[in-house]
């Protein structure tokens, strides 16, 4: 798609003489122009890391080009600008994590702190979270993509450990008091550990939000389908094997979506619209179940579960089909809105035209 747009601009530049308009022409667009326009288009699409890579390649290959100064200016602007689009979520997530950890300490170690003590622990958690978020993000990029990957990693790890501890800790700890302490300890270790690990993995990178949103969507729907299948459709009792399925299936969906996004390239907006279709399907299925229960009171609950799942899947498939051209149309409109042809007079007084890309 990108090369198609560049070809359109090149066609305008080099076909102007056909219409009696003067312009410098050659048999094909110069390679420095092609690379420069690719980088500019990525920048216009909001893909700053990819655009920066192309601008660096341009400076290495065509440092003496007429466009080198412009490419250098774009590169300096990208590298010198901090992306703080995910900072609010980072502060909230960090404070929530540290507050939960601090507030649960008395219960976890078996100490009756009382209302005053509990309040002090809570205040320490809030303050510690705010200070930690400030220190960890100070003078650093923290984009929406970095934030989404951090939260998604923490949620996935905590969901896994919660399911596992709920199923398996009972086999080793029989006293309710100690079982609660153990569950709190597992929750705190998984929350703090996963957040710290995610931060270390993404802190020095630049990530767009499209991929983690797509991965999070796949993870959430996989959880819904695995739970609905095991407990609703098949009506299986909880066991180690069922819990393993409920952990492994969503994790596999998350990883597959994270790596498979390169093939699909869905924007966050399109992923959101497909999710709306799925949620609409769930609602339609739920209302159909309500009607079926009224008409056929003895209907098996497994049929109801299957109906809701099928409606959700149908809604997502339909939404994906209806939005199949959504991303391409958005990119085209953005490029065409910044393209204009203006009259110009050259140094010899001849009439000509200028093709301007306003990025």
Q: Are residues 198 and 251 in the same domain?
A: no
In Å, how far from its chain's centre is CA 89? 13
Q: Are residues 159 and 120 in the same domain?
A: yes
Q: Are residues 92 and 77 in the same domain?
A: no
Tell whether 331 is covered by a domain.
no
Pick from 206, 232, 249: which residue ends a domain?
A: 206
**CA–CA gap between residue 308 and residue 227 (Å, rounded):** 13
The per-residue pLDDT for 247 is 94
Residue range 296-349, pLDDT digits in tens? 888 888 888 999 999 999 999 999 999 999 887 665 555 444 555 555 555 554
Tell whether 153 is covered by a domain.
yes
Q: Are residues 117 and 149 in the same domain?
A: yes
- Asked whether 314 and 281 are in contact (CB, 8 A), the reply is yes
The per-residue pLDDT for 299 is 83
Domain that holds residue 183: 84-206
Q: Are residues 70 and 109 in the same domain?
A: no
The per-residue pLDDT for 44 is 82
Q: Are residues 180 and 234 in the same domain?
A: no
The per-residue pLDDT for 354 is 56
Counted domains in the chain: 3
The per-residue pLDDT for 355 is 56
Q: How many CB atoms lie within 10 A of CB 112?
A: 8
Tell whether 329 is covered by a domain.
no
The per-residue pLDDT for 348 is 53
What is the reported pTM? Answer: 0.73
Tell whether 284 is covered by a domain.
yes
**CA–CA gap between residue 19 and residue 248 (Å, rounded):** 63
Q: Are residues 347 and 312 in the same domain?
A: no
- Residues 53-76: b if buried by 16+ CB within 10 A, e if exposed: ebbeebeeebeebebeeebeebbe
Per-10-residue mean pLDDT, the chain, length 359 = 48 42 53 87 80 87 88 81 89 96 89 88 95 93 94 96 89 86 92 96 88 96 93 86 93 96 91 97 95 87 91 96 83 51 51 53
Q: Are residues 48 and 17 in the same domain?
A: yes
Tell whether 330 is covered by a domain.
no
Q: Are residues 167 and 243 in the same domain?
A: no
The per-residue pLDDT for 356 is 56
Q: Are residues 159 and 265 in the same domain?
A: no
What is the average pLDDT value for the chain, to the nearest integer?
Answer: 84
Tell whether 50 is covered by a domain.
yes
Tell whether 28 is covered by a domain.
yes
Tell whether 332 is covered by a domain.
no
Q: Are residues 192 and 272 in the same domain?
A: no
Q: Are residues 47 and 148 in the same domain?
A: no
Pick from 153, 186, 206: which residue ends a domain?
A: 206
**Residue 343 CB partners (closer than 8 Å, separation 6+):** 351, 352, 353, 354
């Amino acid at each position: 798609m990108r090369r198609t747009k560049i070809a359109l601009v090149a066609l305008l530049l080099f076909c102007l003489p056909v219409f009696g308009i003067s312009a410098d022409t050659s048999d094909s667009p110069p390679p420095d122009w092609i690379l420069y326009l690719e980088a500019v288009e990525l920048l216009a699409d909001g893909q700053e890391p990819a655009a920066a890579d192309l601008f660096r390649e341009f400076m290495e290959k065509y440092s003496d080009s007429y466009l080198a100064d412009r490419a250098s200016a774009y590169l300096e602007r990208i590298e010198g600008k901090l992306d703080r689009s995910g900072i609010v979520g980072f502060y909230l997530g960090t404070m929530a994590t540290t507050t939960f950890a601090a507030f649960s300490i008395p219960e976890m170690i078996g100490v009756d702190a009382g209302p005053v003590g509990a309040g002090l622990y809570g205040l320490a958690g809030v303050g510690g979270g705010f200070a930690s978020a400030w220190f960890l993000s100070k003078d650093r990029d923290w984009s929406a993509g970095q934030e989404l990957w951090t939260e998604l990693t923490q949620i996935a790890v905590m969901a896994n450990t919660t399911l596992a501890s709920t199923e398996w800790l009972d086999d080793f700890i029989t006293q309710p008091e100690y079982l609660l302490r153990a569950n709190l300890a597992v929750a705190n270790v998984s929350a703090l550990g996963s957040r710290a690990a995610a931060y270390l993995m993404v802190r020095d990178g630049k990530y767009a939000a499209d991929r983690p949103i797509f991965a999070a969507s796949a993870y959430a729907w996989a959880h819904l389908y695995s739970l609905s299948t095991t407990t609703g459709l098949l009506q299986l009792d909880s066991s180690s094997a069922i819990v393993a399925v409920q952990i492994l299936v969503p994790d596999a969906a998350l990883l597959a979506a994270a790596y498979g996004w390169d093939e699909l390239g869905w924007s966050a907006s399109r992923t959101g619209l497909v999710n709306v279709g799925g949620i609409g399907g769930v609602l339609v299925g739920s209302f159909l179940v309500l009607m079926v229960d009224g008409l056929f009171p003895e209907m098996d609950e497994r049929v109801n579960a299957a109906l809701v799942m099928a409606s959700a899947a149908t809604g997502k498939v339909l939404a994906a089909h209806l939005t199949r051209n959504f991303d391409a149309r958005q990119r085209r409109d953005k490029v065409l809105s910044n393209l204009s042809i203006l009259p110009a007079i050259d140094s010899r007084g001849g009439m000509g035209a200028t093709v301007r890309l306003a990025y």
